[in-house]
Amino acid sequence: MKRPPMTPVICAIPLAVVAICVVGARWIVPDATEQDILFGVAPAGSPGHRFGTDQLGRDILQLAIAGARSAVVGPIFIALGSMLLGLLLGSLAGYLGGWVDLLLTKYADLLLALPTTLIALVVAGLIDGGYWVTVLVLVVLFSPTDIRLIRGSVLAQSSRPYIESAKVLGLGKSRIMFRHILPNVMPIALATMLLNVAFALVAMSSLSFLGLGVGPGVPDWGRQLSDGRDLLGRNSAAVIVPGVMIIATAAAINLLGDWIQERLEQRARQR
């Protein structure tokens, strides 16, 4: 009997826990943001609070469970939106070529030259639009890498013999693009999108740590890290718990994305 590969099995454990928290937090910890200022800070291991409480008397573990939603949903939308832009603009640049390719390539190069986190910090701070404005800004800033990736993949596919045969048969450009090229580009696009979720998770958590994205009092791992900085001496779990959640989730997504990309490259070489 063939043993299952270990990487996806190991990655599935933390990702399954996070998925349960994202979907069921409102039922698992309905009172996660309930404050008890008189109770104040309690160290880890206190009765009824396994990882203690913060300065507002909120349970650290319950906050981490409730914060999974804002910490993960935004990065998923960032990766999805960025890849959709990459598929659209990268396909146009790679297949049409000419001035379209030049224009879109220069657009991608310009955005790649900008520091992503700093630009997101400045724009989100100026607009002050909250969580979804931050997500939209990061979608735009993440898209240049995807545009260049899809452009390169489309160029590689366009030179293949089956595309030349399709042109000889008189098939239209749109049919060649959507029926022949894009299906062969999608596997690498999906693997890259998964990797982008991990990068976006770290970026969103960084912005939340700096006070942008989610509002005060909203459960979020980055915000929880920021709020727990002053509690290291009294309850270090206030920083350790959300920090471990961010690292474990990003690492699991990254490893899974790398594993999928390696499998796809192996299949491509076998063809």
CATH 1.10.3720.10 fits 12-270, yes or no: yes
Task: Supply the pLDDT for residue 2.
Answer: 45
Task: Supply the pLDDT for residue 192.
Answer: 87
Q: What angle do CA 30, 253, 11 make, to 5 degrees?
A: 85
Q: How far is CA 16 from CA 5, 10, 68, 145, 163, in A?
A: 17, 10, 12, 28, 41
Q: Which of 68, 60, 77, 67 is nearest to 136 (CA)?
A: 77
Q: Which of 165, 197, 176, 193 is nearest to 264 (CA)?
A: 193
Spatial separation of the C-alpha atoms in residues 90 and 23, rounded to whole Å: 33
Tens-binned pLDDT, residue by residue, of the chain (271 aa): 444 567 778 888 889 999 999 998 888 888 878 887 777 787 887 787 888 888 888 888 889 999 899 899 999 999 999 999 998 888 888 877 788 888 888 888 888 887 777 787 777 777 766 788 888 888 988 889 899 888 888 888 777 777 777 777 767 667 777 777 787 788 888 888 888 999 999 988 888 888 777 777 788 898 888 888 888 778 888 888 999 999 999 999 988 888 887 777 676 565 5
Domain boundaries, the chain: 12-270
